[in-house]
Amino acid sequence: MAINLLKKLYVQRSIVVMNYLAHAYLSFHHPDILVGNMISDYIKGKQQYTYSKGIQQGIKLHRFIDHYTDHHPATRASAKLMSKAVGRYGNALTDVIYDHFLANDLREFKNEAALNNFALETYTLLEQQQTIMPEPFQLMLPLMREHNWLYNYRKPEGIEKSFMGVGRRSTHLKSTESAFTLFEMEYTFLKECYFSLWDDLKLATQTELANILSEQS
């Protein structure tokens, strides 16, 4: 079953590369915000207005997070480094790398059990609204739970698999082996980039979410 779903998604090239753990965490336990935050990259143009206000707010928050992250000096530095191995895919792999360091950030998840509990809670909340999600995300969600993506970002092998997934779905990227080697070699630098970004991003997102939630209908 899982293999067939993966094949269908790969043919469609519709698994979006993003930092799923960060977007889930930065939804701050708001169910509708979480759904919008996670499906945003699959929503084009006016499609967003077919969803509830809460999910629309999550879509808006997702786009704020992406813009803030992409323009932060730490991301520019880490993406520039990764681009040595993967060219224009440097930003995409940086997103995956950030999830690794978030998963291991003891300030946010005090231990492995806390991370795993958060992952399971996230899957459950998403499944409650699975039928209204874009088809690619509907297909992907069972795989996310089955392979516990949000938890497994904490392991280097989980990052390696994520890199390989980017390669399989990319037209111009044949291999990510050199990217994973670079990740291992520059681990300390990339970790510093994460810590330079995270507190700024978390605070900015909390402020933006408060503004979004206060908006009038």
For 39-52, what is each residue's pLDDT tens digit? 999 999 899 999 99
Residue 14 near residue 136, CB atoms below 8 Å: yes
**Residue 53 corresponds to which tokens in the numbers above?**
């206000």
pLDDT digits (tens, 9 = 90+) for 86-143: 998 899 899 999 999 999 999 999 999 999 999 999 999 999 999 999 999 999 999 9
Long-range contacts of 4-10 (CB under 8 A, 24+ apart): 5/139, 5/140, 5/142, 5/143, 6/143, 8/139, 9/136, 9/139, 9/140, 10/168, 10/169
pLDDT attached to residue 126: 98
Query: What is the mean pLDDT of the segment spanning 46-73?
Result: 96
% of the chain exceeding 70 in pLDDT: 91
Distance CA 18, CA 92 (A): 7
pLDDT attached to residue 216: 58
Average pLDDT of every residue of the chain: 90
pLDDT digits (tens, 9 = 90+) for 184-195: 999 999 999 999
Distance CA 114, CA 93 (A): 25
Residue 20 near residue 145, CB atoms below 8 Å: no
pLDDT attached to residue 13: 45
- pTM for the model stands at 0.90
Distance CA 192, CA 96 (A): 15
- Residue where the block lists tokens 């169910």: 31
Residue 17 predicted with pLDDT over 80: no
- Residue where the block lists tokens 């997934």: 165
